[in-house]
Amino acid sequence: MKTSVAAVALWGKTAPSHSITAVMVTDDQQTIVTGSQEGQICLWDLSSDLKISSKEILFGHTASVTCLAKARE
């Protein structure tokens, strides 16, 4: 069973930096994946009317994410 966790960002008067260094769109064009200079990978839902909403944020990289690639089946 797959569980998902919604991304939640909490900060004060200014948002933390998230310098996007890599972008990828999935084949079904429903998800955008971004990598950041801060080492985060973010998943974004892309609706049919081109509205973007946060889906998940992945932490753990200790260096910038400068490249994204999809796995082959």
* E strand spans, 1-73: 20-25, 31-36, 41-46, 52-58
Q: Which amino acid does the sequence have at 25?
A: V
Name residue, tokens 């948002």. Answer: 15
pTM for this prediction: 0.72
Q: Is residue 51 pLDDT above 80, yes or no?
A: yes
Query: Who has greater pLDDT, 16 or 56?
Result: 56
72 — pLDDT class (breaks 50, 70, 90): confident
3-34 pLDDT, tens digit per residue, is 655 555 556 666 556 788 999 999 999 999 99
- Report d(CA 39, CA 37) in Å as an integer: 5
Parse the chain into domains and list their residue ranges.
20-59
- Report d(CA 21, CA 64) in Å as an integer: 8
